[in-house]
Structure 1
């Protein structure tokens, strides 16, 4: 029997059971007709048994009509034997007419006897495929249960009343056992079963299959293995909302698990979420633009209210959502919520993340600068709020709690520095946009506070690119753009480049040269002082000797960060300072060599004068008197030479290695050597 059923064939929209016997019942399920046999199905399904019996109770009318015709024919034969001979001709005519009518009725009765029962199931759960599997089960065919078909078969068994009360080991009991033992114990299998329930409503809801699958997924979402998270992409929006609501209602579900489910669902259902996430699950439904917008807004609404952990909901993911929100034209509320969320992870973002193209016709720039500026301002607002809370709680901090408080303040200072570097890189990237206005460029550059930048080399690079891409700026606009650069925070390399940059205004070049000379003077002073107190404790700076602004900014960042972060920043600053000092030392050595050359030239001139005086022995006494007089009135030849060439200093001043030079310099500065 089972092997014959496996040979069932589909002809057009009809399914025939090839058992060798003619079918006696036809089931209409949607647009498919199943030609089957009533006895195998009646033995397993109480509903089919009841419907077939009802149709059999209505069908015997044709048989009663045939029996009635048989009795009337016997009465007519007896009447013919006792009739008179004179009525034979009339009777023959009547009999011929009756025989013609009986032939038609017999033919109709034969058609009625060969016609099968017809049963229609317009709302069968699971459709024709599920009914075919249920019919094979009734014929005794072994049915393989899976996570995809167990829910439809359970609903079909309930619909056909294939329960244990009607027959033992029936379909309802088997499907229920498989659902409890093999599906609900594994969240991935439960997700597949929940997906199949989307086409079984309200039958699956009435049987509690949807609720049990949702609870099974939520209860086991914190398991160690999370490979099944990608299966969430197959769920529709309504089922996904129910799963997330169930996870939020449970106290034993960790925040990281909720975030993982959220990210997996978003990546699988929203196409183009990230430039590097081109792959989508083959089983994920293809949604329209309106459905994608609804999915995106649902994902945004599911984001944790507090700051995300950053391990799962990363800055890349948040900025990808923000970029997709602009593409899909999501609601203003969703975009504002995403901007605030992205601001919490701004210090971990990269340049590629913040390059959000402008999809609005109102703006002419290539990238959405306004969006990035809003994110930066949200970040600054969060930092100010954190600093206010830290200052409020500082009064209650004891000496023992001070190191812990310093540790808590580290991420804020380091995050500000990272955001400063990110904004400088973003400015350099958008600076070449011909439609970027100077006011917008300056507004974004000045949005960050001064302590967010240790050096201003990144801002200077962005300004240089902007001036090169906008050669038709007015003098006022050029000065305004260059005003965003703090010349006091430029390194030696940046100062050297700026001093030779023809695109900079004259005022900016003069400022750069001034601060470069100031840094050079301070570096030389520090070098001389350090050489004078070699091996002694580090002296305090003179009251007129200001530390380098870059060093002050680094020191401020180091004090606020502390610990390992402070050591890393201090090491970098000391390396840069050491390079500057080496450069200054080389310049000082060049000056010393020039001074030595001048000293030798002066000695040669003095030697020639003395030789000429010794060459006149006759006038030695007079020469001595003249020399004495010349030395008295300052009219000798070497003295006149020095005054003529402006050499009014001692020849030993430029020798930084001489001890008396350091002593004399220290005495002039009011310090002990």
Structure 2
């Protein structure tokens, strides 16, 4: 047998396919735009439908010949009625072509039309070759079309042994339905075979095979084969997989979701590894439907994080903004992204603002909602979380302190995000402060990150009012700045005077505590350990706790005496410096105005304080005064 392209003959409008066996063809099959010139006996031996149609045609052939001869004899006598008879004959022939599908070309050949043949000309060609005894290679792509063609042509075991229907069924059961990847290919081919494939149960069997064997399969290569499915078939497979309660069902569903989304949603992934077999998705409505279907198929609980990562969720969210997905789909993605916010990077959370009403370059409102979802989840998981040091963050794992560690990671992410969006000229101070203050205090070990964001914001917004500048600077806790940040803040001309004074004040407190701790450790460390060891050796077990208490009180008293003497020395030095300053200012005032020395010193001191905007008490360092502590809420509403 061979196929060749020739000029159309008769009513055929496309290519012609001839069987080169040395015998002239006696039947022509028209399948869509292709004409097949074949022999009736090989096809009648395998297909009950073709055998029945040709047999009925042979039985009707003598009657047709008598009708044709009678019409020719009466043509001259009934010339007036000829047009009417011609119209009737043409109408009958047209009806036969649509209903009976068999008509005569001449006295020796038949023409059969199959307008709705499953699988089209290619499948009919394979079925015809099978009737001629040519070896047929079954694959996952052609087994479903051939099974539907066998049912359409009635190529069953009742008509002939080892027929096409039996071979296709055996291949489906033994090869296709045992592997989820091959079942996915067969299911893809069923999309063009509806409703034939649905009536034969091929679709249901493929869906169940994929769902049943997906969780037990050791390889995940089949998920790429599943990505070629259309939206309707994809939904059926996902529903079947979600209905199962196998151990690996959840991870299998996540793998299918990621692969399908990357293959069907342009823009979600930079490289397109797969192309849809049917047609590329070009319509925005189709892409939106695909996206919402993927979101609806996400597991209801928190994703594992190994397959559906934070990068994938934020990419879905960014695509949802581009495609203008429904509010429900975007809200679901925001809640999902919040569950893995600690794994996100700065690039992930930089979601551009695609709404025409938004003024900012990035969607700050979306990130703020995600942060608040994260905080609500953390409150449910752990009612209290204490601040930890940077060394503890590196040492502790998420198993021991998941809430504290993830909170610190999210705090660093938010600070980096604030520093990135702070340069946007359209970002309002209220929105900047809301996002900065959304996190609790223990989310930041140090406030260097938020201070950097504040500095960038002040540089990009030079026309802020004094109240707005104070409010923006109020998000920084000066007590949690490192030495490097304090040094930078003390020399930062963009900061208001109040913020600079707070930085200097808390820097002095930190320096004072650091010096005191160093001196205490150097002077009392070794004797304290020796005395403690001696007392523990001399005292019995029952007196150990009492000896330790006495020892601690004695050491504390010695430390307090040493600290008091050092503070008094510092106070004396400060007093001498004040007197020297007063003498200098007093001398300048005497030379200028000739006033009394006492009044000149007071006036000089007051003018010096007013000139530098400082308001100090009479004593710079007072060992009896309490430490000044300013809460974050009071910083936001502090008067100048």
TM-score, normalised with respect to structure 2: 0.73
Q: Which has the larger radius of gyration?
A: 1
CA contact (8 A) 2:398 2:405 kept: no
In 2: Cα distance, 1:423 partner to 1:179 partner: 54
Task: Classify the secondary structure of the residue corresponding to 1:534.
Answer: helix
Task: Classify the secondary structure of the residue corresponding to 1:243.
Answer: helix
The correspondence for 1:411, drawn from 377, 385, 402, is: 402
In 1: Cα distance, 2:298 partner to 2:468 partner: 43
- 1:74-223 equivalence runs, <5 A: 113-114=106-107, 116-222=109-215, 223=217
The number of residue pairs the alignment matches comes to: 494
Q: Which residue of 2 aligns with 1:627?
A: none
The alignment status of 1:27 with 2:18, answered yes or no, reads no
CA contact (8 A) 1:27 1:33 kept: yes
The correspondence for 2:236, drawn from 238, 242, 248, is: 242
Q: Structure 2: any 5+ residue segments left out of the alignment?
A: 8-13, 77-103, 387-396, 533-551, 560-565, 574-622, 626-640
Q: Which residue of 2 aligns with 1:321?
A: 316
The correspondence for 1:455, drawn from 446, 449, 463, is: 446
CA contact (8 A) 2:45 2:160 kept: yes
CA contact (8 A) 1:44 1:162 kept: yes
The alignment status of 1:473 with 2:482, answered yes or no, reads no
Task: Classify the secondary structure of the residue corresponding to 2:266.
Answer: coil
CA contact (8 A) 2:3 2:17 kept: no
Q: Which residue of 2 aligns with 1:579?
A: none
CA displacement at 1:519 relative to structure 2: 0.9
CA contact (8 A) 2:105 2:111 kept: no
Q: Which residue of 1 aligns with 2:417?
A: 426
Deviations along 1:329-363, one digit per CA (max 9) or x if unpaired, are 10000000010010000011111110101000011
Q: Which residue of 1 aligns with 2:484?
A: 493
Task: Classify the secondary structure of the residue corresponding to 1:309.
Answer: coil
In 2: Cα distance, 1:273 partner to 1:159 partner: 42
Q: Which residue of 2 aligns with 1:520?
A: 511
Deviations along 1:285-334, one digit per CA (max 9) or x if unpaired, are 41121111111111111111111111111111111111111011100000
More contact order relative to length (CA 8 Å, sep ≥ 6): 1
CA displacement at 1:202 relative to structure 2: 1.1
In 1: Cα distance, 2:400 partner to 2:382 partner: 9
In 1: Cα distance, 2:3 partner to 2:469 partner: 85
Q: Which residue of 1 aligns with 2:548?
A: none
The correspondence for 2:304, drawn from 303, 309, 325, is: 309
CA displacement at 1:528 relative to structure 2: 1.2
In 2: Cα distance, 1:59 partner to 1:145 partner: 39
The alignment status of 1:261 with 2:252, answered yes or no, reads no
- 1:323-362 equivalence runs, <5 A: 323-362=318-357
Q: Structure 1: any 5+ residue segments left out of the alignment?
A: 73-93, 95-110, 392-405, 546-587, 596-666
The alignment status of 1:529 with 2:520, answered yes or no, reads yes
Q: Which residue of 1 aligns with 2:93?
A: none
The correspondence for 1:380, drawn from 375, 390, 412, is: 375
CA displacement at 1:116 relative to structure 2: 2.1
In 2: Cα distance, 1:290 partner to 1:66 partner: 58
In 2: Cα distance, 1:181 partner to 1:464 partner: 69
Which range moves more in the overlay, 516-525 or 454-463? 516-525
In 2: Cα distance, 1:194 partner to 1:533 partner: 81
In 1: Cα distance, 2:474 partner to 2:176 partner: 67
Pick closer, same or farther for the CA change 1:420–1:152 going to 2, 3 Å.
Answer: same
In 2: Cα distance, 1:371 partner to 1:176 partner: 53
Task: Classify the secondary structure of the residue corresponding to 2:382.
Answer: helix
The correspondence for 1:6, drawn from 2, 8, 16, is: 2
The alignment status of 1:56 with 2:70, answered yes or no, reads no
Pick closer, same or farther for the CA change 1:407–1:120 going to 2, 3 Å.
Answer: closer
CA displacement at 1:245 relative to structure 2: 1.2
Task: Classify the secondary structure of the residue corresponding to 2:263.
Answer: helix
In 2: Cα distance, 1:668 partner to 1:369 partner: 47
CA contact (8 A) 1:247 1:253 kept: no
Q: Which residue of 1 aligns with 2:87?
A: none
Deviations along 1:595-652, one digit per CA (max 9) or x if unpaired, are 9xxxxxxxxxxxxxxxxxxxxxxxxxxxxxxxxxxxxxxxxxxxxxxxxxxxxxxxxx
Task: Classify the secondary structure of the residue corresponding to 2:29.
Answer: strand
In 2: Cα distance, 1:350 partner to 1:160 partner: 60
Q: Which residue of 1 aligns with 2:99?
A: none
Task: Classify the secondary structure of the residue corresponding to 2:35.
Answer: strand
Pick closer, same or farther for the CA change 1:151–1:229 going to 2, 3 Å.
Answer: same
CA displacement at 1:221 relative to structure 2: 0.7
Pick closer, same or farther for the CA change 1:668–1:125 going to 2, 3 Å.
Answer: closer
Pick closer, same or farther for the CA change 1:425–1:65 going to 2, 3 Å.
Answer: closer
CA displacement at 1:28 relative to structure 2: 1.8
Pick closer, same or farther for the CA change 1:125–1:221 going to 2, 3 Å.
Answer: same
Pick closer, same or farther for the CA change 1:390–1:214 going to 2, 3 Å.
Answer: farther
TM-score, normalised with respect to structure 1: 0.69
In 1: Cα distance, 2:256 partner to 2:145 partner: 26
CA displacement at 1:63 relative to structure 2: 4.7
Task: Classify the secondary structure of the residue corresponding to 2:525.
Answer: coil
In 1: Cα distance, 2:161 partner to 2:624 partner: 113
CA contact (8 A) 2:228 2:275 kept: no
CA contact (8 A) 2:28 2:37 kept: yes
Task: Classify the secondary structure of the residue corresponding to 1:168.
Answer: coil
